[in-house]
Structure 1
Amino acid sequence: MVLVPVAVLLAAALALLLPGDRLAPGARHTGTGAAPVPLARVPSGFFTGSDAVGVRRIAGVEAWLGGTSLRVGHTYLPGDRWSNIEGHPELFGPWARWKAAAPGRLFVLNVPMMDRNEAGLADDEVRAGLRRGADGAFDRHFRALGEGLVGAGLADAVLVPGWEMNGTTYGHRCGPDPAAWKAYWRRIAGVLRAVPGQRFRLDFTPSRGRDAIPWPECYPGDDVVDIIGMDAYDQPAGLSFEGQVGEEYGLAHHVAFARAHGKPVSYPEWGLFRNGDNPAYVRGMLDWFAAHRPVYQTVTDYCPHGVWECRDNPRSAAVVRGALGAPARP
């Protein structure tokens, strides 16, 4: 893979991808007023829980938005043990019924690449696991996952394997061995795409910014990636939205990288964090979605990130309702 220089990526994002009335680095957001570009064509969702209760909560968010229909259902496979990474009918069933209830709904599933994924594995353990995965040791688990999804009626799911791989949180992180990580991701893609009846789309999703390793160093290749996503929370403390756009490996770099590789973008996770109730950040993200039309975007809706279930962010909640809510009837 040929890496595109950062300066070229940023120039492409700003010159080619941002319309004149959209936010660019150096512009300011006040967090007031309606979104300049309607977001109705951007499939949107709220993460409200992984189980059947989470599915039922979607109706509560829709009511809060004034009747807007959310088109994205997003959940996560537990990463504690391989049997959970394979999935099970108790998880898939409620989501399959939700998806089948209305046309145009999209199911997004984050897939751990390791068991004990949040157990604080040392780099040596991660490296060994990545190499075993690249050699095919875990193929049967991903084959079982794919077959379970197809059998449940979720054959067209968007799958997000190894999300936020550029950080240190998860056992499926890339940093200890980027070459093995990429080979393992490619192996998983091959196993999933060999499942009869599948129409999966695979989403490569780092977290915004550099973190522990530059995320382009983990990119597994255009032939196995369908969507290039980004998890983008409001952090660190004091960084403006404009800074999040222009930072190294930030929002502008992400959009330009995706354009250079001929891929659409997504935002599987975003929300408030280190800067509290920050309507300027929320306005910036919503304007960004309106400008760049991601495949989907999903608000992480528990505290401190959220705006519906979390009541700590009323000003940001008002911005979300104004942008995503149903128009008031005359």
Structure 2
Amino acid sequence: MAARRCRARSGRLAVLAGSLLASVALAVGPGAAAGPATAPTTEPPPFGAFLDSGPLAVARIAELSDWLGGTEVKVAHTYLPGGSWEDIEGPPGFLDAWAQWRRQKADRMLVLNVPMQERNEENLPDPEVRSLLAQAAAGAFDGHFRALAEQLVRLGVPDTVIVLGWEMNGTTYTHRCGPDPEAWKTYWNRIVAAMRSVPGQAFRFDFTPSRGLDAVPWTECYPGDDTVDIVGMDAYDQPSGLSFEAQVTEPYGLQQHVDFAKAHGKPLSYPEWGLYRNGDNPAYMGRMLAWIEAHRPLYNTVTDYCPHGVWQCSDNPRSSWIYRAALFGRTSAPPADCPPPRSRHRCSSSLPRCRAVASPSAAVSSGAVRRRAMSSRRLTTRSGRQWCLYGSSPRSRLSVPRCPSPLCSAHASSSITATSAFRSRRHGWAP
């Protein structure tokens, strides 16, 4: 009987998480979002974060999952350096730890950004880029990509998602499209053909422009359905003052991205997204999470360093709170040791810096939660249950032995409007 009740409670997490995303709009005010919002399924769309390019990031993936209450991080994301052709072929040992992580579980995904040109961030002028594209379209650089493909197959990750020549519609990279779009598209097709020629490969190629109208409309760079498997978009909260509605509806924005992918029969992705020009913006964070829930991309990876991030960057506590609450404890099944339900759960009043609030959204709207606030405050729901938040930062790790685990404490109460994020045995926190 206890096990059956436990399973029933875990199934309610989807409704609770959906309520959280809806409550974000109320907490941050009107006009914060556009596009549909749907209640999430128990497991979120496959997600990860860019934590670092090297092996340190691989080690930190488990820590990120722990911070999210056990929600599984299924996507690892890294970038090949673009200083030289040797870098683009994959420096010796650079990909080993990433490949090992990917091989450990069948449902994991490795996402690898691959530059299309050496000296990729050296601000080469357009005439030089145009000359390089002419050489590339004639096949001068095919062998480098064949060498990379051979290494990935040898490492046992032949299904790596290749984000090739990302943000090609801008001006940042030498591998940009603008100086000669036709040559660029020919070059893309040559790279894909070279990598697909390697026996054993099963690569998926992700065409990922930056959101909006940059130096050139990204649709002019699209190389064709035969050589694109995924249509991605890098979607940061910029420029300053641009609302999320505008990010959706602007030319070449989020909605056009969705429509374009659907028209071409391709799944979506968001290899890079996060905060930027508008600072710690919980409105953007909540609405981008809701957008991802609604459109179910193949994967998404938040850029987790300052100024963009939510875990490794301490500059964005309000957005970090939204991100963690939306993803906390979202697993496919309850833990095997889920205890029998209790009629009421309360956090110990003797614990330091304990503040109980009705819900995360109530905490935001009422002002009960403030960074570094230490006083206790209680706002109970109609059912008498509480949300207990501990600590003064998103990284706080205080023991809360009398609070049950997230999955086992998802009470069925219409007055609770958030996930079980803040009933964690180990991770109570407030921004």
TM-score normalised according to structure 2 size? 0.68
Q: 1:296 aligns with which of 292, 296, 299?
A: 299
Q: 2:287 aligns with which of 277, 284, 293?
A: 284
Equivalent position amino acid for 1:56 in 2: A
1:311 is aligned to 2:314: yes
Aligned to 2:217: 214
Separation in 1, partners of 2:38, 2:328: 11
Residues 1:143 and 1:39: Cα distance change in structure 2 (over 3 Å): farther
Aligned to 2:158: 155
Residues 1:89 and 1:134: Cα distance change in structure 2 (over 3 Å): same
For the 8 Å contact 2:32–2:243, the answer to whether it is kept is no
Equivalent position amino acid for 1:119 in 2: E
Q: CA deviation at 1:158?
A: 0.4
Q: 1:250 aligns with which of 248, 253, 259?
A: 253
Point out where structure 2 has 5 or more consecutive residues left out of the alignment: 1-21, 331-405, 410-431
For the 8 Å contact 2:303–2:309, the answer to whether it is kept is yes
Show the 5 A alignment for 1:234-273.
234-273=237-276
Structure 1's consecutive aligned runs of 4 or more residues displaced over 6 angstroms after TM superposition are: none
1:66 is aligned to 2:75: no
The alignment of Structure 1 onto Structure 2 pairs a total of residues equal to 303
Aligned to 1:3: none
Q: CA deviation at 1:41?
A: 4.1
SS in structure 2 at match of 1:109? strand
Q: Which of 1 and 2 has higher RCO (CA within 8 Å, sep 6+)?
A: 1
Separation in 1, partners of 2:137, 2:288: 36
Aligned to 1:172: 175
SS in structure 1 at match of 2:231? strand
Separation in 2, partners of 1:120, 1:271: 24
The structure number with the bigger radius of gyration is 2
1:202-229: CA deviations, max 9, x gaps? Answer: 0000000001000000000001100000
Equivalent position amino acid for 2:130 in 1: R
Q: CA deviation at 1:101?
A: 1.8
Show the 5 A alignment for 1:99-138.
99-138=102-141
SS in structure 2 at match of 1:223? helix
Equivalent position amino acid for 1:53 in 2: L
Separation in 1, partners of 2:45, 2:279: 26
Q: CA deviation at 1:63?
A: 1.4
TM-score normalised according to structure 1 size? 0.89
Q: CA deviation at 1:102?
A: 2.2
Separation in 2, partners of 1:250, 1:97: 36
Separation in 2, partners of 1:121, 1:148: 29
1:183 is aligned to 2:199: no
SS in structure 2 at match of 1:63? helix
Equivalent position amino acid for 1:234 in 2: D
SS in structure 2 at match of 1:84? helix
1:50-96: CA deviations, max 9, x gaps? Answer: 11111111122111111111000000000000001000341211011
1:8-64: CA deviations, max 9, x gaps? Answer: xxxxxxxxxxxxx9x9xxx7338xxx9832472410001101111111111221111
SS in structure 2 at match of 1:268? strand
1:140 is aligned to 2:143: yes
Aligned-residue CA RMSD (Å): 1.6
